[in-house]
Amino acid sequence: CDLYCVFGHPIAHSRSPWIHRRFAELTGQNLDYQARLAPLEGFADSLRDFIAEGGRGANVTVPFKHEAAACAQTRSQRVELAGAANTLVIGADGQMHADNTDGLGLVADITRNAGVALAGADVLLVGAGGAAAGVLGPLIEQRPRSITLCNRTRAKVDALALRHQVLARAAGVTLAVQEQAALAGDFSVVINATAASLQGGGVPIAAQALRPGALAYDMMYGPAAQGFLAWAQQHGAVARDGLGMLVEQAAAAFALWRGVQPPAAQVLAELRAQLA
Ligand code: ATR
């Protein structure tokens, strides 16, 4: 049967093998999906071994997403903009195509699972690292009214905005950068794409940024998201963690590999029940 895997470092915690095996079960696809720990300096070698074993596709997580984008023979426009790939499609000849389904996953979870429209929304995206870069293009393509970016380090967020201005202009989306410490205005969707909670930091923005009833979304899940979600609820927002994004980015990768759309909402419900 066809072989797939997820590469990361660390990788033992990854839910991807369970998610993809469940997708395969529910869609009747015959495949094997493994978790593979690549050494920090050994991603390219691990990938070569995997292809030699007949691997037909891989997910890639921290810290190899940039390398995955660089080592593929072809790249989607999403990967070019993000500078990072989370999905590799491997042909029978071993050629690799890099894609990035993180942004598709976030958009699907917000619009389909949470039922919140992004079209016409005023979105605040906090952070300018790999997580933010991976989702900005697909967010723009939903044609919100505006997307405001902020980040602790201003130079990084200016560069991210600059890279996406052509796409934003073409979509008719106002893309602006603000100082994180002095945000003006309020937003209907606030997305936390920072690693602040992992660094022991608090929520990096003021609660005034939340319009009453806003959706406050943390791209993390589990304990790392708890601080942001509690803060959002305290301030009258609808709080949502990134578990749905995890399942939906996997569903988009599965569809790229197999040409079949798996039942993501069902698998998300099962995963939530497991983690509760
Ligand atoms: P990832 O791939 O998860 O995005 P990253 O590329 O290291 O990881 O980016 C981490 C993001 O979290 C950055 O936006 C970072 O801000 P800087 O660009 O200023 O480094 C943000 N971040 C990390 N710790 C933070 C903290 N304590 N407060 C605010 N922002 C923080």
Compute the distance from residue 226 Cα to the ligand 1 centre, in Å: 17
Percent of the chain residues topping a pLDDT of 70: 100
Atom of ligand 1 nearest to the CA of 63: 2
**Helix/strand/coil percentages in the chain, nearest 5:** 45, 20, 30
Does residue 152's CB lie within 6 angstroms of at least one atom of ligand 1? Answer: yes
pLDDT digits (tens, 9 = 90+) for 194-227: 999 998 889 999 999 999 999 999 999 999 999 9
Percent of the chain residues topping a pLDDT of 90: 99
Does residue 202's CB lie within 6 angstroms of at least one atom of ligand 1? Answer: no
pLDDT digits (tens, 9 = 90+) for 114-125: 999 999 999 999
Question: All domains of the chain, ordered by start, with CATH?
Answer: 2-100+247-275 (3.40.50.10860), 103-241 (3.40.50.720)
pLDDT digits (tens, 9 = 90+) for 168-192: 999 999 999 999 999 999 999 999 9
Q: How confident is the model at residue 14 (pLDDT cuts 50, 70, 90)?
A: very high
Q: What is the pLDDT of residue 56?
A: 98
| Cα 228 to chain centroid, rounded | 17
Q: What is the pLDDT of residue 19?
A: 98
Q: State how far the Cα of 87 lies from the Cα of 13, in Å rounded to an integer.
A: 18
pLDDT digits (tens, 9 = 90+) for 131-170: 999 999 999 999 999 999 999 999 999 999 999 999 999 9
Q: State how far the Cα of 65 lies from the Cα of 199, in Å rounded to an integer.
A: 20
Does residue 83's CB lie within 6 angstroms of at least one atom of ligand 1? Answer: no
Helix (H) or strand (E) holding 217: strand 210-218
Q: How confident is the model at residue 93 (pLDDT cuts 50, 70, 90)?
A: very high
Q: How confident is the model at residue 228 (pLDDT cuts 50, 70, 90)?
A: very high
Q: What is the pLDDT of residue 96?
A: 98
Whether 258 sits among the annotated catalytic residues: the reply is no
Q: State how far the Cα of 102 lies from the Cα of 225, in Å rounded to an integer.
A: 17
CB 220 within 8 A of CB 241: yes
Q: What is the pLDDT of residue 3?
A: 98
Q: What is the mean pLDDT of residues 248-261?
A: 98
Nearest CA to ligand 1 atom 7: 129
Task: Tokens for 93, please give them.
Answer: 């000849």
Q: How confident is the model at residue 52 (pLDDT cuts 50, 70, 90)?
A: very high
Q: What is the pLDDT of residue 70?
A: 97
Tell me if 152 is assigned to a ligand binding site.
yes
Is the preceding peptide bond at 17 cis, omega within 30 degrees of 0? no
CB 128 within 8 A of CB 120: no
Q: How confident is the model at residue 68 (pLDDT cuts 50, 70, 90)?
A: very high
